Amino acid sequence: MSEERADSLIRWLSVAAAVLVGAVVGMGLYTFEYAEGLSYFSTDPAACANCHIMQPQYDGWQKSSHHTVATCVDCHLPHDFIPKYIAKAENGYYHSKGFTFQDFREPIVIKEKNRRLLQDNCLECHGDLVHDMIPGSTSDPDFVQCVHCHWTVGHGSRAGLGPRERPGEWKEQLNE
C-alpha cells in the first residue's frame, strides 16, 4: 500500500470514528436532557415522577402525613452521601430499564434491598419512639415492618396504586 493511500485510509477512519463518537455523545446528551437527568441529582420529589411510572406514588405522597416533613429521598435512600448516590444510580437504572422495556409490575413492588432501606430510615427518624416497642426490628429487619401498620404514611391512600398486599405477600411476588 502506498504511503498516500495509507494516509487517505487513516483520514477516512478518523472521520468515521469522529462521526461515530459524536453521534453516541450527542444521543447520550439528548437522552440525558430529554429524561431531565440533572433533576435526579436533586431531592425534589417531582423528579421521581419524571417518567410517569411513579405518578401515583408522587400524588399519594402529596396527600400523605409525611408530605411536610419527608421527601422520597428521606425515606427511600441512604442518608450518607456516597451510598445515597450509589442507590440513586442503581434505582435509576432499574427504573429506566423498566420504563424503556415496560417490564415492571403494576402496582410497583419495592425491591427487598429498598424495603430494608425504608425500614432503616423509619427507625432512623422514629427509633427513639419505637425502640422499646419493636426491639427485634433493629436486629431482624423482617421482625416488624413499620409499613405493615403505617402503610399510608408515605404515600397516602392506595388510590391508583392497586390492591394492598398482605404482610409477606411481597416475598411471593418477588419469587414469581
Same domain, 80 and 114: yes
Average pLDDT in the chain: 82
Q: Confirm if 45 and 61 have CB atoms less than 8 A apart.
A: yes
pTM for this entry: 0.71
For residues 44-52, give the mean pLDDT: 84
Report the number of distinct structural domains present in the chain: 2
Same domain, 115 and 30: no
Domain that residue 25 falls in: 1-35
Residues 160 and 80: their CA atoms lie apart, in Å, by 32
Look up the CATH number of the domain holding residue 156: 1.10.3820.10
Same domain, 23 and 61: no
Same domain, 30 and 69: no
Q: Which of 36-50, 51-65, 139-153 has the lowest mean pLDDT?
A: 139-153
Same domain, 89 and 169: yes
Q: Confirm if 113 and 106 have CB atoms less than 8 A apart.
A: no
> What tens digit of pLDDT does each residue of 64-120 get?
888 899 999 999 999 999 999 999 999 888 888 888 888 888 777 888 899 889 988
Same domain, 67 and 153: yes
